């Protein structure tokens, strides 16, 4: 019997999983007094080389952000390089999300007038490469060129040369000029990303379906949070349907019934069949008005469910996307801890929001 083309990927990535932060490291991270102390806790982990490299020029939050982003890019690169030839186009399509996230960050910064230096530190990139480079779109120099543009309109003009990004934004510039509302542009980029990646992840070897399920569950999580945010802000249903992302398992046709809930906690109960832990966010919402508990619960439910599915197919794209998902979850959790401590959030409020320690 011929060996699987993913046997090599399994052999290359399995030894990398122990480098993810262990459950023992999270209590000291949550107990850290500020971002500087978070960096100190991370010195004995996979983040150490990037902390050391940036410490001479950065400190505090900026130092941790750079270490998080560079570690994350390195992990993306490992996953991409471990994929066999037939699987690389799928991984590249998925990694294009970080081009989109970086473009959204740059556009938001331009809309808000934030400094170039502050924005560059937050880009999901290493010193030489961007996280989305493997999709063949933007390099770090391209990002710097975008950062140097004076306005949202100038950034959009530059983006025309990069596949669909510019053509997605240009039709929306007239409305932006009137309203100065950047959200429709960011939403359009996100919709275009999911449209493109779902169209590209088609049956070829038969294992692409697990990637489609991963993407569909992510879209469902985004739509569930859209419903909760809109209900908390008392927005009309039309606003919800206008911002809906198609492609998930939760159809837009169900949004009206779900949105008919009398309040946010009842809406969470209606979403529980899709996200069993989501009602755990009710306490946080009722005590502080924060939706963070709902976001964490949906991410946790999704990560547990999808990792179980991906691990069930080790000689396939499953091992690559299990690694990528673990990397994403850890990045989000380290950022939750860092920003939580920066803004003085109590440790007992941060800990329930973490996903990684429960995987």
Cα 318 from chain centroid (whole Å): 19
**For residue 304, which of 253, 257, 356 has the smallest C-alpha distance?**
356
Report DSSP letters for 245-314, one per residue.
-TTSSS-GGGHHHHHTSSSHHHHHHHHTTTSTTGGGGHHHHHHH---HHHHHHHHHHHHHHHHHHHHT-T
Largest CA distance in the chain: 64
Residue 215 inside a domain? The answer is yes
pLDDT at residue 164, rounded to an integer = 59
Bridge partners, 130 (sequence order): 125
Q: Which residues contact 66 (CB under 8 A, 6 or more apart)?
A: 50, 54, 58, 121
Alpha helices in 171-232, H assignment, sequence order: 173-179, 183-200, 209-232
Structural domain total, the chain: 1
Supply 223's token pair. Answer: 């739509």
Q: In terms of residue numbers, what domain contains 243?
A: 210-312
pLDDT at residue 262, rounded to an integer = 93
Enumerate residue ranges in the chain where pLDDT < 70: 1-3, 115-137, 163-164, 203-206
Q: What is the pLDDT of residues 216-236, one digit of tens each?
A: 999 999 999 999 999 999 999
Contact 245, 219 (CB under 8 A): yes
Contact 153, 164 (CB under 8 A): no
Distance (Å, rounded) from C-alpha 29 to C-alpha 96? Answer: 30
Q: What is the pLDDT of residues 317-357, one digit of tens each?
A: 999 999 999 999 999 999 999 999 999 889 999 999 999 99
Q: Which residues contact 155 (CB under 8 A, 6 or more apart)?
A: 103, 106, 107, 110, 146, 149
pLDDT at residue 114, rounded to an integer = 74
Supply 84's token pair. Answer: 């066999």
Contact 166, 99 (CB under 8 A): no
Residue 73 inside a domain? The answer is no
Cα 279 from chain centroid (whole Å): 22
**For residue 245, which of 272, 273, 267, 224 has the smallest C-alpha distance?**
224
Residue 79 inside a domain? The answer is no
Q: For position 294, which CATH number holds? A: 1.20.1690.10
pTM (2 d.p.)? 0.91
Cα 117 from chain centroid (whole Å): 22
Residue 243 inside a domain? The answer is yes
pLDDT at residue 123, rounded to an integer = 66
Contact 138, 162 (CB under 8 A): yes
Supply 260's token pair. Answer: 């008919």
pLDDT at residue 133, rounded to an integer = 44
pLDDT at residue 1, rounded to an integer = 40
pLDDT at residue 135, rounded to an integer = 44
Distance (Å, rounded) from C-alpha 303 to C-alpha 100? Answer: 22
Phi, psi of 77 (to 5 degrees): -65, -40
Residue 296 inside a domain? The answer is yes
Q: How many residues does the chain have?
A: 359
pLDDT at residue 63, rounded to an integer = 92
Residue 297 inside a domain? The answer is yes
């Amino acid at each position: 019997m011929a060996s699987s083309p993913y046997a090599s990927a399994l052999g290359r990535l399995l030894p990398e999983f122990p480098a993810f932060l262990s459950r023992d490291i999270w209590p000291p991270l949550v107990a850290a007094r500020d971002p500087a102390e978070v960096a100190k806790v991370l010195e004995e982990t996979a983040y150490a080389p990037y902390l050391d490299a940036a410490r001479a020029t950065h400190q505090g939050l900026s130092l941790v952000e750079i270490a998080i982003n560079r570690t994350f890019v390195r992990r993306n690169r490992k996953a991409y390089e471990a994929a066999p030839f037939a699987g690389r186009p799928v991984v590249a399509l998925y990694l294009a999300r970080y081009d989109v996230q970086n473009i959204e960050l740059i556009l938001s910064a331009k809309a808000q007038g934030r400094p170039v230096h502050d924005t560059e530190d937050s880009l999901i990139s290493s010193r030489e490469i961007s996280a989305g480079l493997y999709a063949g779109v933007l390099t770090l120099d391209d990002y710097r060129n975008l950062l140097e543009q004076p306005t949202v309109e100038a950034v959009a003009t530059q983006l025309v040369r990069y596949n669909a990004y510019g053509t997605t934004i240009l039709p929306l510039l007239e409305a932006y000029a009137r309203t100065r509302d950047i959200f429709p542009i960011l939403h359009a980029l996100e919709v275009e990303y999911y449209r493109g990646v779902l169209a590209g992840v088609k049956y070829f070897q038969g294992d692409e379906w697990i990637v489609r399920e991963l993407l569909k569950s992510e879209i469902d999580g985004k739509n569930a949070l859209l419903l909760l945010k809109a209900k908390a802000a008392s927005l009309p249903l039309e606003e919800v349907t206008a911002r809906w992302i198609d492609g998930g398992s939760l159809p837009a046709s169900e949004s009206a019934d779900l949105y008919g809930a009398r309040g946010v906690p009842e809406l969470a109960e209606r979403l529980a069949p899709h996200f069993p832990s989501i009602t755990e966010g009710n306490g946080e919402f009722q005590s502080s008005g924060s939706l963070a508990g709902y976001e964490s619960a949906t991410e946790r439910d999704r990560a547990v469910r999808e990792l179980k599915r991906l691990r069930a197919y080790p000689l396939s794209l499953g091992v690559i996307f299990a690694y990528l998902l673990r990397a994403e979850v850890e990045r989000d959790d380290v950022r939750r801890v860092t920003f939580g401590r920066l803004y003085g959030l109590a440790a007992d409020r941060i800990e329930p929001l973490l996903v990684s320690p429960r995987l």
